[in-house]
């Protein structure tokens, strides 16, 4: 049954409304009063205070479609069928109200009756020690035990340090053998794209203390997350999340500006999907007030934008083009997210300025890196020296992650340790230079500013590995 992405979204929200849930609007991508998180990465993230009991929710049952960013998935984008840095997460939440049984039963009802997904294509996973969930699936839902997989803590237990935590149960769709991998033991939990995880149900039932003891939580919570793009991909029987009815339009505009055809060449397709994903992420980030910078959220935005711009170059696009794609992003998502429509010209302007800036940097840096690569090949060497990587970065403003990516593409790598040494040396130099200056004057020194942005951009790069891992 072919069902559009927008239809799935409203079906989901309506379904949970009919089960007594209050449907709230998506929160901003920028966390509100939460220093622990750079960007909202799940439906539950903006509701944390309700779960913690710090704030009273408008209802004990809520449902949302939340815009999310997971930069931790950036390397997967365009390569797996299922990862975007930007995506929408549908969810139903219970704050000390209903628990496991209802969550599973309603999940099953929605998927099999309202989306009419054939039962024999579905698999579920439970946490290995969660017999309760296993029994609800097998005895109450009559789900065949051969298709229930018990997974360990890494996959199916949600916790962050101490505090509320609990087991998960996930629902998967079997896309068939043609999507499989070489692993003879391929089943849900395998990293390939045959079994597509689309809905995670988290049963927050424990409270972990400092010693690692798990006590029962007084008010048990439910937090579920279903990837909207993934569900659309299943419903529409397309290859990956970027080929669904709405997002496919962005691919088409890229085909036009680049004068290439999607689906003809694997490498081209990866670049097209990366641009498709990143322009969505970037448009939403700017709409939520993030501006390009060298640290924090601004750095995430800058990195996504520059990465998209570079993939545009790989496709042979010469002019600034990213800002032009915003029209398509708005056509696709503007109805569900009116902030995009309201800020259309602002979003375009921000993107255009950054794109222009980047083009100047990139042309020069790419040429230099190409000459380094040539030298390496001549000398049969595989590793770019830290010194040269640093020079590119420091003198030419060429982003280090881009250097790394370009090297990887031609089978080379980078002496990261030596690069870090150079970075530290530079920080030392900057520190002592600052120490010698009087009062405020160093702030006006353009070089001191350059150093500040350089060092913070590097920290931003480190930070990225921490984002989106929850």
Question: Is 169 an interacting residue with respect to ligand ATP (CB under 6 A)?
Answer: no
Task: Report phi then psi at 463, rounded to 5.
Answer: -60, -30
Q: Which residue's CB atom is positioned nearest to ligand ATP? A: 227
- Our CA angle for 77, 292, 359, nearest 5°, is 75
Whether 195 and 179 have beta carbons less than 8 Å apart is answered as: no
Question: Is 208 an interacting residue with respect to ligand ATP (CB under 6 A)?
Answer: no
Question: Is 226 an interacting residue with respect to ligand ATP (CB under 6 A)?
Answer: yes
Question: Is 197 an interacting residue with respect to ligand ATP (CB under 6 A)?
Answer: yes
Cβ 76 to ligand ATP shortest distance, Å: 7
Question: Is 83 an interacting residue with respect to ligand ATP (CB under 6 A)?
Answer: yes
Full DSSP string of 409-442: HTT-EE-HHHHHHHHHHHHHHHHHHHHTS-TTHH
Please count the other Cβ atoms lying within 10 Å of the Cβ belonging to residue 128: 16
Cβ 115 to ligand ATP shortest distance, Å: 14
The binder of ligand ATP chosen from 198, 337, 390, 419 (CB under 6 A): 198
Least Cα distance to 222 among 207, 205, 203 occurs for: 203
Cβ 198 to ligand ATP shortest distance, Å: 5
Q: For 57-160, where are the E strands, in sequence order?
A: 61-69, 86-95, 122-127, 148-151, 157-158
Angstrom distance (rounded) from CA 418 to CA 413: 12
Whether 61 and 93 have beta carbons less than 8 Å apart is answered as: yes
Beta-strand relationship, 383-384 and 413-414: parallel
Task: For Mg ion, give the closer residue by CB, 68 or 454.
Answer: 68
Region binding ligand ATP by CB under 6 A among candidate stretches 82-90, 289-297, 350-358, 444-452: 82-90
Angstrom distance (rounded) from CA 57 to CA 377: 61
Cβ 235 to ligand ATP shortest distance, Å: 13
Cβ 383 to Mg ion shortest distance, Å: 30
Task: For ligand ATP, give the closer residue by CB, 226 or 290.
Answer: 226
Question: Is 107 an interacting residue with respect to ligand ATP (CB under 6 A)?
Answer: no
Residue 225 contact partner, candidates ligand ATP, Mg ion, none, CB within 5 to 8 A by sort of partner: ligand ATP
Question: Is 84 an interacting residue with respect to ligand ATP (CB under 6 A)?
Answer: yes
Given the rule CB under 6 A, which residues bind ligand ATP? 70, 73, 82-84, 87, 89, 197-200, 225-227, 229-230
């Amino acid at each position: 049954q072919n069902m559009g992405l927008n239809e799935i979204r409203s079906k989901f929200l309506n379904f949970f409304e009919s089960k007594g849930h209050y449907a709230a609007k998506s929160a901003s991508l920028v966390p509100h009063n939460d220093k622990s998180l750079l960007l909202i990465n799940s439906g539950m993230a903006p509701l944390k205070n309700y779960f913690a009991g710090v704030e009273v929710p408008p209802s004990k049952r809520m449902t949302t479609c939340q815009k999310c960013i997971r930069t931790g998935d950036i390397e997967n984008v365009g390569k797996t069928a299922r990862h975007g840095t930007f995506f929408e997460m549908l969810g139903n939440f219970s704050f000390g109200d209903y628990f496991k049984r209802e969550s599973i039963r309603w999940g099953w009802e929605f998927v099999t009756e309202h989306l009419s997904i054939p039962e024999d294509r579905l698999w579920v996973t439970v946490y290995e020690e969660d017999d309760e969930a296993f029994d609800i699936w097998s005895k109450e839902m009559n789900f065949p035990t051969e298709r229930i997989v018990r997974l360990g803590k890494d996959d199916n237990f949600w916790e962050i340090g101490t505090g509320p935590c609990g087991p998960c149960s996930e629902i998967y769709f079997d896309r068939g053998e043609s999507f499989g991998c070489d692993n003879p033991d391929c089943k849900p939990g395998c990293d390939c794209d045959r079994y597509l995880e689309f809905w995670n149900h988290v049963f927050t039932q424990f409270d972990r203390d400092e010693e690692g003891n798990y006590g029962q939580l007084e008010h048990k919570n439910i937090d579920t997350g279903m990837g909207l793009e993934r569900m659309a991909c299943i419903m529409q029987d397309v290859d990956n999340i970027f080929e669904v009815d709405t997002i496919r339009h962005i691919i088409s505009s890229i085909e036009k500006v680049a004068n290439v055809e999607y689906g003809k060449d694997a490498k081209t397709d990866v670049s097209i999907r990366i641009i498709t994903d990143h322009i969505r992420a970037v448009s939403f980030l700017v709409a939520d007030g993030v501006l390009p910078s060298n640290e924090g959220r601004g750095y995430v935005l800058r990195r996504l934008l520059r990465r998209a711009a570079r993939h545009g170059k790989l496709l042979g696009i010469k002019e600034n083009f990213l800002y032009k794609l915003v029209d398509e992003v708005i056509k696709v998502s503007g109805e569900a997210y009116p902030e995009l429509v309201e800020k259309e010209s602002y979003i375009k302007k921000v993107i255009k300025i950054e794109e222009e800036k980047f083009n100047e940097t990139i042309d020069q840096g790419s040429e230099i890196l190409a000459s380094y690569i040539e030298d390496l090949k001549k000398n049969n060497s595989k590793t770019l020296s830290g010194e040269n990587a640093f020079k590119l970065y420091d003198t030419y403003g060429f982003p280090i992650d881009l250097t790394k990516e370009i090297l990887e593409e031609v089978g080379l790598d980078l002496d990261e340790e030596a690069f870090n040494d150079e970075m530290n040396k530079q920080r030392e130099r900057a520190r002592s230079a600052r120490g010698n200056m009087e009062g405020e004057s160093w702030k006006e020194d353009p070089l001191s500013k350059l150093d500040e942005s350089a060092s913070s951009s590097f920290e931003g790069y480190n930070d990225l590995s921490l984002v989106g891992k929850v």
